[in-house]
Amino acid sequence: MAEDDKKRVTVTIQGEVLEWIDQKIGERVFHNYQHAVDYCLMKVYQEEYTRFTHYNVYDDHATIYDNLKKRIVDVYFREGPYCEACEKPDCDHVRFALSLPKVVEPLRAKGWVIMDGRVVSKPT
């Protein structure tokens, strides 16, 4: 986003929320008020907006829908993870697919080690 495209808004923070933010700034959880507001907005965004929808799992891949890009994405698990949309072995699509128990459990049964949405090792 170009500097000219950024919008500025004024936010009023009062009462218990302000006290909580002041406490977190004092604990160095937040650097300043802007950081606190950015963090809170991101948390609400993550809770309210679901970027991915899981469609199906097949022998060698999972199909998901990316609500942001408005497209179906296949994530393959052959020699390693591979996203056909991003053409990469590691992206948001791969990490989402590797958060799904229906994807992870069969891979682990085949000897894959998966932690925090990433393949740590796979069978040789």
The two three-digit tokens of residue 107, written as one number: 């891979």
79-100 pLDDT, tens per residue?
899 999 999 999 999 999 999 9
**Residue 50 pLDDT level (bands cut at 50, 70, 90):** confident
**Residue 40 pLDDT level (bands cut at 50, 70, 90):** confident
Q: Is the pLDDT of residue 44 over 60?
A: yes
Q: How far apart are CA 100 and CA 91, in angstroms?
A: 15
**At residue 11, what is the residue type?**
V
- As a whole number, mean pLDDT of residues 42-60 equals 85
Domain boundaries, the chain: 3-48, 52-121
Q: What is the pTM of this model?
A: 0.63
**Residue 18 pLDDT level (bands cut at 50, 70, 90):** very high
pLDDT at 2: 59
60-77 pLDDT, tens per residue?
999 999 988 999 999 999
Q: How far apart are CA 112 and CA 54, in angstroms?
A: 21
